[in-house]
């Protein structure tokens, strides 16, 4: 059996912009808290269109406007990312583009929102409201566009800050290229790096099947192709697979020796992952994590970072 000099792995399907799972802490932290933080001061101080409204009405309309603006900026950013995915643009460019597109769209949806409030008698037709509807909103007029974007410019730092916190605290790429495809890296081949370097087989089907798979109960009959990761826990190992996870009494050192012929890599002194089981690699400062296809995240130790696979943005189409 010959071991290839490079780790040639297919580029995984990935998103340019990370999207938090609906209902998760990240989702609430990004889609609800920031727009509310932006809306409440405006509404409580009866800013802008709320100047002649009651305070509850002012708060309500500003919450609706800020929520719509925030969510639409995100939607337009992700649509831009999907449209331009072939060129793999920088995420921060998409974030800024989504904000600017939303500002242009606000000249359409904001009057409609205010008209809806008038229709249900939540807002009175005050002089301020009447003058708002008299504004000529011509998106082909450069003077109007200049005024529109200057008025919306203070919201841009807040929008960028919200995206930064989503990336910083939840590891979702929003402003920088955190989630990347896997690229090949030449192996050192030295004995000192034997535990950190990937040990691949040219044909997984012909490789010896690890003996610990025979001890599986709930995952009985698990194939090597379904194996995602193996993680040590005291005298046990956690077997991660496409079908789920199971705890087995087994020495991790023995399991690691049996895994050497498979397409995988040891990322930590107590964790091994299958190359095909890696969905993405996340890096925040000096901390690196592997995101498995099961959605779980495993830490990568500093000595094994180089042997894992250097992170790079896949700029060329597959």
Q: Are 98 and 73 in contact (CB under 8 A)?
A: yes
Cβ atoms within 10 Å of 41's Cβ, excluding its own: 11
Give me the mean pLDDT over the 272-300 stretch: 85
Res. 285: pLDDT tops 80: no
Tell me what the mean pLDDT of segment 147-163 comes to. 92
State the pLDDT at residue 4: 32
12, two tokens: 């995984």
Which residue segments constitute the domains of the chain, with CATH numbers given? Answer: 25-170 (no CATH), 181-312 (2.40.50.1020)
- Provide the H-helix boundaries in the chain: 25-31, 33-44, 55-83, 91-119, 127-133, 142-152, 155-170, 252-258, 305-308
Q: Mean pLDDT, the chain, as a whole number?
A: 79
pLDDT band per the 50, 70, 90 thresholds, residue 306: low
User: Quick one: pLDDT at residue 95?
Assistant: 95
Q: What is the pLDDT of residue 64?
A: 94
pLDDT at 260: 84
pLDDT (tens digit per residue) in 53-112: 889 999 999 999 999 999 999 999 999 988 988 887 888 999 999 999 999 999 999 999
Torsion sign (Cα): 205, 210, 212, 214: positive
Confidence at residue 257, expressed as pLDDT on a 0 to 100 scale: 87
* pLDDT greater at residue 267 or residue 160: 160
Residue 21 makes CB contacts below 8 A (sequence gap 6+) with 27
> pLDDT, tens digit, for every residue of 166-223?
877 766 778 876 433 333 332 333 333 333 333 343 344 556 788 898 888 888 888 8
> Which residue stretches of 45-90 are H helix?
55-83
CA-based R_g, the chain, Å: 26
Question: Interior CA angle at 284 toward 278 and 290, to 5°?
Answer: 15
Residue matched to tokens 């830490």 = 299
The residue among 112, 110, 68, 65 whose CA lies nearest residue 57 is 65
């Amino acid at each position: 059996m010959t071991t290839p000099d490079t780790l040639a792995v297919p580029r995984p399907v990935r998103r340019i912009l990370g999207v938090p799972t609906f209902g998760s802490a990240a989702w609430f932290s990004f889609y609800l808290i920031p727009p509310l933080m932006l809306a409440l001061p405006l509404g409580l101080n009866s800013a802008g269109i709320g100047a002649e409204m009651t305070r509850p009405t002012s708060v309500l309309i500003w919450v609706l406007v800020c929520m719509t603006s925030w969510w639409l900026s995100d939607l337009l950013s992700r649509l831009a990312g999907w449209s331009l995915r072939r060129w793999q643009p920088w995420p921060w460019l998409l974030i800024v583009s989504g904000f600017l597109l939303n500002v242009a769209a606000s000249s359409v949806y904001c009057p409609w929102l205010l008209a809806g409030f008038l229709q249900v008698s939540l807002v009175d037709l005050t002089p301020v409201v009447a003058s708002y509807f008299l504004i000529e909103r011509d998106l082909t007029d450069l003077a109007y566009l200049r005024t529109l974007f200057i008025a919306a410019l203070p919201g841009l730092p807040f929008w960028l800050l919200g995206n930064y916190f989503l990336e910083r605290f939840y590891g979702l790429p929003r402003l920088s290229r955190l989630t990347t495809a896997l690229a090949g890296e030449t192996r050192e081949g030295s004995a000192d790096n034997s535990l950190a370097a990937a040990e691949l087989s040219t044909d997984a089907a012909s490789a010896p099947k690890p003996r610990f798979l025979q001890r599986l109960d709930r995952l009985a009959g698990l194939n090597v192709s379904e194996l995602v990761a193996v993680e040590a826990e005291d005298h046990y190992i956690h077997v991660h697979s496409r079908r789920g996870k199971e705890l087995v009494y087994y020495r991790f050192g023995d399991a690691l020796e049996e895994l050497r012929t498979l397409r995988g890599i040891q990322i930590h002194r107590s964790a091994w992952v299958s190359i095909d089981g890696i969905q993405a690699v996340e890096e925040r400062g000096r901390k690196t994590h592997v995101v498995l296809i099961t959605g779980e995240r495993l830490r990568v130790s500093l000595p094994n970072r180089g042997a894992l696979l250097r992170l790079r943005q896949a700029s060329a189409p597959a």
